[in-house]
Amino acid sequence: MLIRKATDLTYADVTPKPVYLNRRKFLQAMSIASATAVLSRRLYEFAAPSQTALAATKFSGLIKSPFSTTEKENSFENVTHYNNFYEFGTDKSDPAKNAQNFNISNWVVSVEGDVAKPRKLSMDEILKIAPLEERIYRHRCVEAWSIVVPWIGFSFSNLVKLVEPTPKAQFVAFQSYYDPRQMPQGRWAGIAFPYVEGLRLDEAMSPLTFLCVGMYEESLPNQDGAPVRMVIPWKYGFKSIKSLVKIKFQSKMPPTTWNIANPQEYGFYSNVNPNVPNPRYSQARERRLGEFFMRNTLMFNGYGDQVASLYNGMDLKKYY
C-alpha cells in the first residue's frame, strides 16, 4: 500500500485494496521476500487494477482536530456494514454489498451558482484545498442510532472561500451522483434521486461543517460515500450527503430529499434535538452501535457550544 503525506497524494496513486490484499496473500504463499518488487508489479498488472473496487488510499501526516470527541470510536467493521445509502438499497447491509464496483474514477465536483469563481474540481484538486485533518465526530441518525467515526477531510469553509460567494448566496445546495445503471437498487428505494441536501450559508461556514474524503486513515469506502461527502455532526445523519458531484450557492432555500419524501417528518434544519420527536422515533434517547443500553441524546448532538448561536431566536419546534 502506498503511504504518502496527505499533501502529496493524487488519486492516480491509489492502489486498489483487493489488489494489495491479493498481492499480500500471494507473496506470503510464495515466501520469497526478495522477489517483492518485481512480483508485486507483475501481480498488479495481472490483476488488471481498476480504480473502482474499494480503492483505498492510506493517508498519513493527518492533523489531529481540536473538534474531535474523546469518546470511543466505533469499529471500521461497524461503520462500513451498517449504512444508509439508498442508491445501493434500503437495508443497512445493502451498501456494503452493492457499492463494491461503484466507479469513482475521474470524479469531478462542480461548484457553481452565485460565486465569483465557479470551479470544476477533480479529487486531486480537492485534496489540495486545505491540509487534511482527522476529526472524530459523533454521528447521530434520525433512526436513533449513533456512531463515533474518525473522518478525514477539512472544514467546508475552505472550499467556500475558494469560490468566493457573491452577496446573493444565502444557501448551499448539494447533489449526489446518480446513475441507475450503477445503482439499480435505487429504483426500489422509494425516494427520488439524485439525492439532494442543503444548508444555510452560515451553517455551511461553521468550522464544524466538514468536507470528508476518508475515514480510519484511508480514503472513503464506497458504501460510506466515496470519494467525497459532507459530515455535519450536529444534524441528523441524512443531512450528511454522500458521493457529492454538485455544490451550488444560491439565494433560495434548496429542496432536500427527505423533506420532499415526507415533509411532516423531516425538515430543512434537522438539528439533533432530544425535545422534538419524529412521529416514528422519539429522539430523546439513542443506541450507540455495539452497545446494549441506550443513552440520552444531547442537544445539537453535543455540539451546542459551537452551533447554538446559529439558531438564536428561532423556534426549533417549528424549524425542525
Query: Which residues contact ligand MTE (rule: CB under 6 A)?
Result: 83-87, 139, 141, 176, 195, 224, 237-238, 240-243
CB of 272 to ligand MTE, least distance (A): 12
Using the structure block, give the residue that is written with the C-alpha cell 465526530. 137
CB of 193 to ligand MTE, least distance (A): 8
Quick one: 40 or 222, whose CB is closer to ligand MTE? 222
Which one, 19 or 212, has the nearer CB to ligand MTE?
Answer: 212
Q: Measured from the CB of residue 139, what is the shortest distance to ligand MTE in angstroms?
A: 6
Q: Which is nearer to ligand MTE, 242 or 288 (CB)?
A: 242
CA angle 231, 307, 280 (to 5 degrees): 65
Nearer to ligand MTE, 119 or 139 (CB): 139
Q: How far is the CB of 63 from ligand MTE (least distance, A)?
A: 22
Give dist(CA 239, CA 276) in Å, integer: 17
**Judged by CB, which is closer to ligand MTE: 125, or 143?**
143
Choose between 11 and 266: whose C-beta lies nearer to ligand MTE: 266
| Distance in Å, CB of 140 to ligand MTE, minimum | 9
Q: In this complex, which beta carbon is closest to ligand MTE, that of residue 183 or of residue 307?
A: 183
Nearest CB to ligand MTE, comparing residues 198 and 237: 237
Q: Which residue lies nearer to ligand MTE by CB, 133 or 224?
A: 224
CB of 15 to ligand MTE, least distance (A): 23
- Residue 241 CB, nearest approach to ligand MTE (Å): 5
172 to each of 3, 24, 26, 222, 314, how far by Cα in Å?
A: 34, 44, 48, 24, 20
User: Cβ of 222: how many Cβ atoms within 10 Å?
Assistant: 27
The Cα 306–Cα 308 span in angstroms is 6
* Smallest distance, ligand MTE to C-beta of residue 7, A: 25
CB 234 within 8 A of CB 208: yes
Q: Which residue has the cell 487494477?
A: 49
Closest residue to bound ligand MTE by CB: 237
CA neighbor of 212 nearest in space, from 155, 141, 129: 155
Smallest distance from ligand MTE to CB 35, Å: 39
